[in-house]
Amino acid sequence: MHLNQSYAEYLQHTSISARPFPAASLEVFLLDQAQDRHHRREVETLQDFAEVFDWKLRRNYEKVLHDGYTLIVSNAAKSILWVSHQFLAMTGYSPNEVIGRTPRFLQGPDTDPARIRQLSNELALASQSQRITPICQQLINYRKGGIPYLCDLEIDPIWNHRGELTHYIAVEKEV
């Protein structure tokens, strides 16, 4: 509470026009610290997944998260297990609303069925061929309120060290 006392004393001796800067600086600092902690927790969660499921990762997902991309981890059956905090900002859906669902629920009337078929075919081939390169597509998805958005999508098939496809990690960015 020493900081609060010092700040209160400072405010007593400062004109109103000069007051916002220290408070704004502190708020920016605290927000930055909270975002860093949240980012570290997301990275730790991905590391925990990698350890538990014995993933053989070929991509730096920490950098992907840091660069502001949305990550979605799903199992081999394509049910969502985890989403990064950017998912809420991009779609309006909280993690609790999407865990256990497939990403199909984000599709809508303007989502191109041909692109979905192509994506499905490539995912099926990836599971048979031990594909290690991302499957890329651009789709129109829908936010929680029904508003469409264009999304660049890269889906990484994730294999364990025994050569089994265990998960997919989708890296998404709104265009």
- The full set of domain ranges for the chain reads 55-174
Is the pLDDT assigned to residue 12 strictly greater than 70? no
Can you read off the two tokens belonging to residue 60? 């730096």
Q: Taking phi first (over 0 means left), then psi (-120 to 50 degrees means alpha), and beta for anything else, what does residue 146 get?
A: left
Of 1-5, 10-14, 19-23, 95-99, the range with the lowest mean pLDDT is: 1-5
Question: Does pLDDT of 163 surpass 60?
Answer: yes
**The domain 55-174 is classified under which CATH number: 3.30.43.10, 3.30.2350.10, 3.30.450.20, 1.10.10.10?**
3.30.450.20
pLDDT at 60: 93
Q: What is the pLDDT of residues 119-140, one digit of tens each?
A: 999 999 988 888 788 999 999 9
Nearest to 124 by CA among 70, 63, 67, 168: 168
Look at residue 165 in the predicted model and tell me its pLDDT.
93
The span from the CA of 172 to the CA of 149, in Å, is: 12
Q: Closest Cα partner for 122 from 158, 157, 98, 164?
A: 157
The pLDDT value recorded for residue 11 is 58
> Which tokens sit at 51?
């350890």
